Amino acid sequence: MRRTGTSVDPLWYKDAVIYEVPVKSFCDGNGDGIGDFEGLHSKLDYLQSLGVTCLWLLPFFPSPLRDDGYDIADYFSIHPSYGTLEDFKQFLDAAHARGLRVIVELVLNHTSDQHPWFQRARSAPAGSPERDFYVWNDTDQRHKEARIIFVDSERSNWTWDDEAKAFYWHRFFHHQPDLNFDNPVVVTELLTVLDFWLDLGVDGFRLDAVPYLIERDGTNCENLPETHAIIKTVRAHVNKRPSPPLLLAEANQPPADVRAYFGDGDGDECHMAYHFPVMPRIFMSLHLEDREPIVDVMERTPGIPENCQWAMFLRNHDELTLEMVTEDERDYMYLAYSMDPQGRINVGIRRRLAPLVGNSRPRIELLNALLFSLPGTPILYYGDEIGMGDNLYLGDRNGVRTPMQWTGDRNAGFSKADPAGLYSPVINDPVYGFPAVNVESQESDNASLLHWTRNMIRLRQHFKVFGRGSIDFLRPANTKVLVFTRSFEGDTLLCVANLSRTAQPVELDLRAYAGATPVETLGYTEFPPIGELPYFLTLGPYGFYWFELQRPHG
């Protein structure tokens, strides 16, 4: 069951562990209070030692930063606060030298209203090629079936522009006008953007907000066939390269709709897509102490092409999104995980992982064990490996984007700048503050969350079955215990997790594996061989096992 893939394996993303990092938040190399590529470069040894294999960089392009960089004003450069293109190239070369791949954010759907394309469009005559880069109309009554995504801040998907004397379309904030993908010139321009970064050596792209590229009357303007045609064009374009890059679709949709973003046949759209619905249901199962929400969503997940993969995560840079649950489930999640209304935003909860579970180390470990063992490629959010907290008093989603806590010294070791000059205040409360939670102290503590996370990442990477295997759920009588097997090329792992805060017994029907010996992978301890009788286990509160089922030789 040991991994046999190589660095040139075209399916490398199936065995990857991805680390999500905003450049501005990780490390400040030049002392101006803002993280940059020089600082990120200096921390590559840490990331390599953590065991992650791929870095996902949040937007770092020139931008007004009204939406944390997702409002791009120039696709071909680096925001001056983060460094230069030369700094990026040096960082990229250093990451590759350590065996780390790098994927970057590409916001396809929209730009900033400060982008030169939009500035030309608003001042150009109606019907001109320049105006045609965006979606305009004389009235704000078209496409009424399309939902408003940011319900906290936007009342319409149309905004009036005084200079253009017309309404422009935007599915997100009003300062992020949607590009017109019915215009082939727009598609050509964005393919040029991909080529620019691929020529620099990036390993892939996270394609942001892909369901919303095309608008049609009488539809909800999501997941339209014309949108999929655009993604197929992008995939065909990058496939011309000797080593095609990874395309990761950000489509916050039900699994049946997301399935379409993998494409037809062997997959001719994106290689990966996020499994948004599973995230809230993992938290629901934990609070309910019942496996059914997880089992239900996983069993309703459609099959995907052999060369495709789900991206799995517990938290990310936005919020614990609750768009893909029912209204009753959403109300339950708010009650369970966000009694403080200040922690809620849009249709989600803006908390980091540790505060979501009351800083319970056993629950953090169990959630990560599920993340690492369910089908898909796990994504870790920076700082969660040490249990960082958040700051609900910061606006929007900035409370989960505070400086990385490296040491207990000034500015958490993030920057040498005056504390007042930091892009964001560091966390400084008694529980999650940098004097109590930082990399330096956890490096020296073998029992720390950082060491535990590092060990679990390395353990997961020993077994290809986690990234590539099938899953089958067992249904023991005790519903507080989640049990499933992962199988790949004749090898099987048995995963058992106690979702309860109290110790639980479980009897498993493992007759299909009679004669095999379960070997617990954390300590490589042999358990009694499996026979025809029910297999009995006891698990401590939030305890879990990963067993390698070893067949007798001969």
For the annotated catalytic residues, the residue numbers are 208, 250
The torsion defined by the Cα of 58, 320, 174 and 188, in degrees rounded to 10, comes to 40
- Which tokens in the block code for residue 137? 């109309």
- Which tokens in the block code for residue 397? 């989603």
- Total Cβ atoms within 10 A of residue 122: 20
Chain-centroid distance of CA 26 in Å reads 17
d(CA 434, CA 425): 11
Q: By C-alpha distance, which of 62, 42, 52, 66 is closest to 20?
A: 52
- Total Cβ atoms within 10 A of residue 151: 11
Chain-centroid distance of CA 552 in Å reads 40
Residue type, 288: L
d(CA 338, CA 355): 10
Q: Is 261 exposed, middle or buried (0-12, 13-18, 19+ CB in 10 A)?
A: buried
Q: What is the DSSP string of 381-414?
A: ETTTTTT----TTSSTTGGG-PPP---SSGGGGS
Q: What is the DSSP letter of 149?
A: S
If residue 60 lies in a helix (H) or strand (E), which one and from where to where? none
Q: By C-alpha distance, which of 319, 318, 327, 312 is closest to 276?
A: 312
Alpha-carbon distances of 8 from 1, 4, 25, 308, 505, rounded to whole Å: 19, 11, 31, 17, 45
| SS3 call for 171 | coil
d(CA 332, CA 334): 5
Q: By C-alpha distance, which of 240, 221, 379 is closest to 313?
A: 379
Residue type, 28: D
Sequence-ordered alpha helix ranges (H) in 19-169: 23-26, 37-42, 44-50, 85-97, 116-123
Q: What is the DSSP string of 302-320?
A: PP--TT-EEEEES--SS-E
Q: By C-alpha distance, which of 401, 391, 388, 323 is closest to 65?
A: 401
Residues forming beta bridges with residue 496, ordered by sequence position: 483, 545
Q: What is the DSSP letter of 318?
A: S
d(CA 269, CA 265): 10
Residues forming beta bridges with residue 525, ordered by sequence position: 520
Is-contact 468 442, C-beta < 8 A? no
- Which tokens in the block code for residue 129? 């090629």
If residue 297 lies in a helix (H) or strand (E), which one and from where to where? helix 292-299
